[in-house]
Structure formats: structure tokens, C-alpha cells
Amino acid sequence: MPVDDNNNADPDLLAEEKALERAGRLHWFHWLVLAFSLVLTLSVWQYSSRQLQEKMDNRFTQQGEQIAALVKERLQKYEDALWSGVAAIHSHGGDISFADWQTFAEALHIGEKYPGINGIGVIHQVAPQQRQQYLALQRTERPDFQIHPSHDQNVLLPISYIIPVKGNAAAVGLDVAHENNRLTAALKSRDSATAQITGPIILVQDSQKKPGFLFYAPYYSGPATSVEERREAFSGLVYAPFVVEKLMRGTLQKSRRNIHFRILDQQQTLYDESADSENKSYQPRLSGRHTLSLYGRDWVLETWESKAFWADFSESQPQLILICGIVLDIMLLSLFLLLSRAQRRSLSFAKRMVARATKRTDELRDTVKLLERSNQELEQFAFIASHDLQEPLRSVSNFSGMLKESLADNEKEHVRSAVFFISEATNRMQNLLTGLMDYSRISQEIEWESIDCDDVVDGVLADLSELIREKNAKVVVSPLPVIVAGRSQLRQLFQNLIANALKFSREDSTCKIEIAAKQSSSNWTFSIRDNGIGISPENFERIFFIFRRLHRNEEIPGSGIGLSSCRKITTLFGGDIWLDSTVGEGSCFYFTIPKAINKGA
Amino acid sequence: MLSVLLIDDSDADNYFHTYSIEKSELCGTVESCTSSLSALDRLIDATEGRAAMPDIIFLDINIPSVDGWEFLEHYKRCISVEQRKSKIFMLSTSVNPQDRARAETHPLISGYISKPLTTEKFIQNAALL
């Protein structure tokens, strides 16, 4: 029996096992994939946060510029109002009365259309020597008109009118030359013939003392192309006082913006939203700076964002990308780990299965050995028993023969019958023991050799010649092949089958037996056909069992061993035995013998 | 007087058993059949009034062709419940304990007797009837 030894396992299998073991671990390419994906995640995160930052910066800068533009635009609008005041003065012949100014100013609807200014007014240039004359003129309509405060400049620039009167009373008569900021801008306006604004001042009429400025536009009594001509022809200024805070109403209103700012004029704060109580706890992260050149002043607009600014940006997007990427990486790593674990587990499972199968095979091999031994012992036992039983039986046979002879004339029928049955029984017993001995001898070592079946059949027919003659049987043998088999077993096979064909012949017709062989690709199929009594199909299988008989011994003597021996022999040869039969017409026994004998079977 | 039917393929056994039963002087008739099918024919004749139904049947297990067990199947099929007046005993040389156990639990079998059937054994079992 071929035995697989685990130590001689197939080298291919071993190599594959090694490969599987290697596959069960994480390798550089796993880590490479992980590292690559991590780098990718970080890059995307970086890129998206940079994009976001850029977008925010752009938006922030844009909004800051928008504010600067709005401030500028708004001041331009006021400038237009001032110049329209200048035009009104010219249209009144170079100067204007309080009443006319009032008519003009009211037509402007300052309250509704110019919400940033406290009013619009006229400043006259008054030479010191004309002071009284000027006062007299003003006092004709406003008796308590005063110029204030006094100063030592050689020119007077008193505010003659300011409309609306209400809320501006403190400004009426104020000499803007008394203070440097106001004076400098006024003179600059005169010399340049352009609108100018003052540096930061506190308006006298502003009770809250908020930073403000004045906006001037000059008017002249004659041609004013050069500085000298302007100084010569300078008559006064149309002006408007501003509180910066009020300027920021309307489109610039704080609540409409996400950007907050302060305006500085040479370090002095004109306007500041940082001190507001709203969102005081909020620390802005962006800051911007815009320079606004406005009517002779350089304003610096410092901007920062409000908390609401961020509402437009989903700032969490890059973080989300980062988190998702890292989660994906972790999942990837887990997947790798799980896969490699599954691989290791299946490998160990396979190993355990192999171990178990090997164990099972070992067990089976042991069982087969045990069975073989016990079978051998049984056959040995049957052989020895049948052999040894024959000796005492012979004695019984001999002495019953003696009795039969001497008691043949006994007057008692019982005695004669008893002696008859004894000798019958001993004969039968001898047949049985011989059959049993033959049967148990079958599986002794087969000596495989090339055998001419014609020779074997001839020998068998010669042995059976007496019976053939007795039955007057006709035996036809077709040419038979040369096969590889065990000689004594093959002979026994033919002997039993031909003897059966003779034994179970019919009384009413001549016994005819045909022996033939047919080949297929792998087998020889032999057939022994007779025209005997036949066998009914329900007995086709049972006749091959040992001691199974279909007939009483008294009718057709037999041991019940012949066909079971035949089956045993064909099985040993690696073939099969079966039959076809019709009761009353005859039987045909077939057996196969493989062309290539498997001697290991 | 009892009537007995022996079903056994062995002439020698039938002869000996007939001899033992007759010696008991309990029986009027002892018949024997050497195959299951001939025994069935004999019993069917009895159901149709052509013969007497035996009081006791001794049945061998190992009978060629149709054995004792198969005989019982045919018996069940051919003989109606009312007509089953015979007591059936298994009478066998079988030393197989499975055969004995099967016989003892078989509803149609009244007892199991191992061969040979001696006069004493027959009297013992006949006394149980």
C-alpha cells in the first residue's frame, strides 16, 4: 500500500505555504499605500485650507476696498453739495444773504439726503479792519451775532451762517482761523481752489465730543487761476461740519457689514468700531489697511473682520477633509490588518485540517491493517478448522459405512433410516468442509502470470468430462484470450461456473454450454451460458452469498460456497461477476477481468 | 390429539423430528414440507377446507429459496387473521442471537426452539398450549 509521508511533502506545496505565510504579513507596499494615502490626505487638506485662506483674504480685502470706495463716494457727494453752495453764492452775485442761504440749504434737504453732516454753512473771509462792518451787516438780521474766539491771526474766517440753525448755534460766529486744523485746511482750500477737509477736530456743536472734521469749498470774487489771484479774489468758504460716526450711516451702516474698521488721520482716530460692546470677546484674525487720499488728508482705513464674516465660509471644510482622510487611512490600515489576519487564520486552519486529515488517514490505515489481520486470521481459522474437522469426520464416515453394510438387513426401519441419514450427513459434511477450505484458500497470495484461458478451460472440461458425459452435455468454447491473473483462482472460477451450468441443467432438453470472451478498452468480459433451469431475478444477488442455496440438498446437492468463491475471486482480480437469467430457459454468468491488472488492489 | 406441520428442507431433520413427536404420543398427525412454498400450499388448502389446519407449525429459518422469515411474510399475506389457528415455533440450528431475538419479538411466533427437537422439548412446549 502506498503511504504518504508528511516529511516528503511536495516542495511546490511547501513553497506555496511559505508564500501564503508571507502574504499573511503587512509588507512595504502596504505601508507605501498607506503613506501615499496619508500624504495625499495632508496635501488635499493643505491645498483646501490654502484655498479657503486665499478666498477669505480676497473677500476681506475686497470688502475693505468696498468700504474705502463707499467712504470716498459719500464724501464726493458732500463735495457736490458744497460746490452747489458755491454756485448758489455766485448766482447771488458773489455773496449771499442769510435768508437766501437758508432757502438754498433747506432745498438741499440735508436731514434726509446728507445724513452725515450737521449742516451746510458759509464762512466769509473778513480782514481785521473790516470786522466791524462785517459784524454790523450780520447783526442786521441776527442782533447777537458774535465772532469768537479771538486769536492773533491776521485774517478772520467766521462762520456766518449754518443751516439748519437748530443744533448748530455754537458754531455760528465761530472763527475757524482760531485753530490750526481748521485754518490750515481753509487756507489750503483757498490756495488750491479745491475742496479740502480738516484734520480731526471736535465740533463745537457736538455735545458728545465725537471726532469730526470740516469740509470746505472756496469761492472767489474774481478770476482764480494762480495762487496769487486766488488769495486776492478769495471771498470765503462753503463748509459742512461732519461727525464721522454720522457719516457711516446708510449704506455704510455697521450692521450691513461683516468688516469693521477704524479711520485714522495721522494717528488720530476719526472713527473706531473696535470699542463697541458687540462681539467684544471676539478676537479678529484678519487685518487690513487702506490709504484714502481725501481732499488734502491721508486717511488710513484699518479693517478687521466680524464674527459674522466667517459665517460665509465653511471653515470646517479642510478639517473635514483631513478627518475624513485620516479616517479612511485608519480604515485602510484596519482592512490590511484584517486581511492579513484572515490570511493567517485560513492558513492555520488549512494546516489544522491537513493535520486532522493526516491523523484520520493514519487511523484509517491502522484500521485497514487491523481488518486485514483479522480477516487473515479468520481465513486461517476457517482453513485450519475445516481441515482439522475432516479427520474425525472421516472416522464417522468410515464407521457409518461399516454400520450401513452390517445393518442393511435390520428388521427395524428406524435403524436402517438412521444409518442412511448418518452416511448422507457425513458425505455432505465432507463436501461442505472441502468447499470451505477452498474458499478460505482463495485469498492466499495470487501468483500473477500470463495465462491462456483456452488451456485453463480445456483442463476444467477434462476434469468434468465424466459429468459432461453423464449429462450428455454439449460444450462450445469460442477462442479465449491470454490474460494476466492467478492460475489456480482462475481455474476455480471456470470450474465452479461450468460445474454449475452442468449441475442445474434441465431434464427435458440437452444440456448446452457456451463459453466466450469479449473485450472492451479496459476489460475482458467472459460469459458462460447454459440452457438450464434458470434463476428468478430476485435471487440474482443472494446466490453469491456463502451457504446460500436455492435448492434442497436432497434435490441438487451442493455446499452453497461455489458462487461466493467466484465473487471472491473476481473481486481479487479487480473485476466483477453478475448474471442474466430466465427461469426455465437458462442462465448466463458474466465476469470481467481488467486488462491491466492492479496488483496492489 | 394435536396435529403438527414441520417445515424444513432437511429430510434427515424431518425424519428425526417426526420420530420424536410421535414418541410423545400427543399427536395424531405429523406432516412435513421441505420448502416454504409447499408449506404455504398446504396451509392454503387448509383454509379452503381441503385439509385440516395444523395446531402446531415448526418452522426452520434456513430453508433454500424462500427462507423462514420470508415464509412468515407470505403467511401474513395469504392467511387471514381469523384463519391463523396454528401456533408457530421457530425450530432452527441457528446460534445467531439476532435470529433468536427476532423470533421472540415476532408477533406470529410463539417460541424459539433450537434443534434438535427432542421428545422432552416437544412435550414441554405442547404443555404450554
In the listed set A278, A307, A336, which residue is the last one of a domain according to the structure?
Answer: A307
Candidates B16, B19, B64; nearest CB to A552: B64
- For cell 478627518, the residue is A323
What's the pLDDT score for residue B87? 92
Q: Which CATH superfamily is domain B2-127 in?
A: Response regulator (3.40.50.2300)
Which has more confidence, A554 or A601? A554
In which domain, by residue range, is A566 found? 445-594
Q: Are A472 and A510 in contact (CB under 8 A)?
A: yes
The edge-to-edge listing of strands for the beta sheet with B109-114 is B27-33, B2-7, B56-59, B87-92, B109-114
> Rounded distance, CA A159 to CA A186, Å?
12
pLDDT of residue A558 exceeding 80, the answer is yes
pLDDT digits (tens, 9 = 90+) for A133-176: 888 888 888 888 888 888 888 888 999 989 888 888 888 889 98
pLDDT digits (tens, 9 = 90+) for B100-129: 888 889 999 998 988 889 999 999 888 877
Residue A406: burial class (beta carbons within 10 Å; 0-12, 13-18, 19+): exposed
- A→B contacts (Cβ < 8 Å), by residue, are 414, 417, 421, 424-425, 539, 549-554
A vs B, Cβ pairs < 8 A, gives 26
**Three-class SS of residue A428?**
helix
> Rounded distance, CA A113 to CA A544, Å?
129
**Three-class SS of residue A290?**
strand
- For cell 461477476, the residue is A577
Candidates B11, B19, B65; nearest CB to A554: B11
Q: Which residues of B touch A400 (CB under 8 A)?
A: none
Q: Which residues of A touch B10 (CB under 8 A)?
A: 552-554
Pick the residue of A428, A504, A552 with the most B CBs within 10 A to test the interface with B by mutation. Answer: A552
Q: Which residues of B touch A550 (CB under 8 A)?
A: 64-65
Q: Specify if A129 maps to a domain.
A: yes
Say yes or no for a CB contact (<8 Å) between A550 and B35: no
pLDDT digits (tens, 9 = 90+) for A56-109: 888 888 888 988 888 888 889 889 999 999 999 999 888 888 889 999 988 888
What's the pLDDT score for residue A266? 86
Q: Specify if A16 maps to a domain.
A: no
pLDDT digits (tens, 9 = 90+) for A302-325: 888 887 787 776 667 778 888 888
> Rounded distance, CA A467 to CA A498, Å?
11
Taking alpha carbons only, the member of B56, B55, B59, B128 closest to residue B94 is: B59
**Three-class SS of residue A159?**
strand
Pick the residue of B8, B22, B65 with the most A CBs within 10 A to test the interface with A by mutation. Answer: B65
The answer, for B35 touching chain A at a CB cutoff of 8 Å, is yes
The total domain count for chain A is: 2
> Rounded distance, CA B104 to CA B94, Å?
14
Say yes or no for a CB contact (<8 Å) between A421 and B34: no
Q: Average of pLDDT values for B77-102?
A: 87
Residue A142: burial class (beta carbons within 10 Å; 0-12, 13-18, 19+): middle
A601: pLDDT confidence band, cut at 50, 70 and 90?
A: very low
The answer, for B119 touching chain A at a CB cutoff of 8 Å, is no
Q: Specify if A76 maps to a domain.
A: no
Candidates B10, B19, B35; nearest CB to A414: B19
Candidates B12, B16, B64; nearest CB to A551: B64
Nine-digit cell at A454? 483456452
Least confident residue range of A113-117, A226-230, A483-487: A113-117
For residue A202, give Cα distances in angstroms to A140, A147, A205, A242, A325. Answer: 30, 19, 9, 10, 59
Say yes or no for a CB contact (<8 Å) between B35 and A425: no
Residue in chain A nearest B34 by alpha carbon: A552
- Give the sign of the dihedral formed by CA A38, CA A40, CA A43, CA A48: negative
Of A34-43, A284-293, A349-358, A528-537, give the range with the top mean pLDDT.
Answer: A528-537
What's the pLDDT score for residue A548? 81
Instruction: Cite the DSSP H helix spans in A450-546.
Output: 453-463, 465-471, 487-503
CA-based nearest distance A547→chain B, Å: 10
Amino acid in the structure at residue A356? R
Q: Are A481 and A519 in contact (CB under 8 A)?
A: yes
pLDDT of residue A576 exceeding 80, the answer is yes
pLDDT of residue B48 exceeding 80, the answer is yes
Which has more confidence, A12 or B48? B48
What's the pLDDT score for residue A321? 84
Say yes or no for a CB contact (<8 Å) between A552 and B9: yes
Q: Specify if A323 maps to a domain.
A: no
Least confident residue range of A378-387, A423-432, B42-51: A378-387
Taking alpha carbons only, the member of B71, B82, B91, B86 closest to residue B21 is: B91
- Give the sign of the dihedral formed by CA A100, CA A104, CA A106, CA A111: negative
**Kind plus residue range of the DSSP H or E element containing A213:** strand A211-220
Say yes or no for a CB contact (<8 Å) between B65 and A554: no
Say yes or no for a CB contact (<8 Å) between A550 and B15: no
Q: Which residues of A touch B34 (CB under 8 A)?
A: 552, 554
Q: Average of pLDDT values for A342-349?
A: 88
pLDDT of residue B70 exceeding 90, the answer is yes
Q: How many residues does chain B have?
A: 129
Nine-digit cell at A83? 460746490
Q: Specify if A373 maps to a domain.
A: no
Q: Which residues are paired to A126 by β-bridges? A: A156
The answer, for B9 touching chain A at a CB cutoff of 8 Å, is yes
In the listed set A307, A328, A344, which residue is the last one of a domain according to the structure?
Answer: A307
The answer, for B19 touching chain A at a CB cutoff of 8 Å, is yes
Q: How many residues does chain A have?
A: 601
CA-based nearest distance B59→chain A, Å: 15
CA-based nearest distance A381→chain B, Å: 19
Residue in chain B nearest A559 by alpha carbon: B64
**Three-class SS of residue A477?**
strand
The DSSP code sequence of chain B is -EEEEEE-S-HHHHHHHHHHHHHHT-EEEEEEESSHHHHHHHHHHHHTTSSPPPSEEEE-S--SSS-HHHHHHHHHHHS-GGG--SEEEEEE----HHHHHHHHH-TTEEEEEESS--HHHHHHHHHT-
CA-based nearest distance B8→chain A, Å: 10
Task: Please state, for a pLDDT cut of 70, what percent of chain A lies above it.
Answer: 96
CA-based nearest distance A552→chain B, Å: 6
Peptide bond into A164 cis (omega under 30): yes
Of A105-114, A446-455, B86-95, give the range with the top mean pLDDT.
Answer: A446-455
Q: Which residues of B touch A553 (CB under 8 A)?
A: 9-10
pLDDT of residue A573 exceeding 50, the answer is yes
Q: Specify if A585 maps to a domain.
A: yes
Say yes or no for a CB contact (<8 Å) between B15 and A424: no
Between CA A588 and CA A513, with CA A528 as vertex, the angle to 5 degrees is 100
Taking alpha carbons only, the member of A2, A252, A216 closest to residue A125 is: A216
B7: pLDDT confidence band, cut at 50, 70 and 90?
A: very high
Instruction: Indicate which CATH number applies to the domain containing A556.
Output: 3.30.565.10
Q: Which residues of B touch A552 (CB under 8 A)?
A: 9-10, 34-35, 64
Task: Count CA atoms closer than 13 A to A284's CA, side-chain side.
Answer: 21
Q: Are B58 and B31 in contact (CB under 8 A)?
A: no
Between CA A488 and CA A498, with CA A492 as vertex, the angle to 5 degrees is 145
Pick the residue of B11, B16, B69, B115 with the most A CBs within 10 A to test the interface with A by mutation. Answer: B11
Residue A476: burial class (beta carbons within 10 Å; 0-12, 13-18, 19+): exposed
What's the pLDDT score for residue A438? 83
Q: Average of pLDDT values for A370-397?
A: 84
Instruction: Indicate which CATH number applies to the domain containing A117.
Output: 3.30.450.350
Q: Average of pLDDT values for B5-31?
A: 91
Pick the residue of A400, A420, A421, A543 with the most B CBs within 10 A to test the interface with B by mutation. Answer: A421
Strands B2-7 and B56-59: parallel
The answer, for B118 touching chain A at a CB cutoff of 8 Å, is no
Of A199-213, A225-239, A344-358, A578-592, give the range with the top mean pLDDT.
Answer: A578-592
How many DSSP H helices and E strands does chain A contain?
Answer: 14, 17
> Rounded distance, CA A520 to CA A465, Å?
32
Say yes or no for a CB contact (<8 Å) between A550 and B11: no
> Rounded distance, CA A578 to CA A581, Å?
10
pLDDT of residue A1 exceeding 70, the answer is no
Radius of gyration of chain A (CA): 68
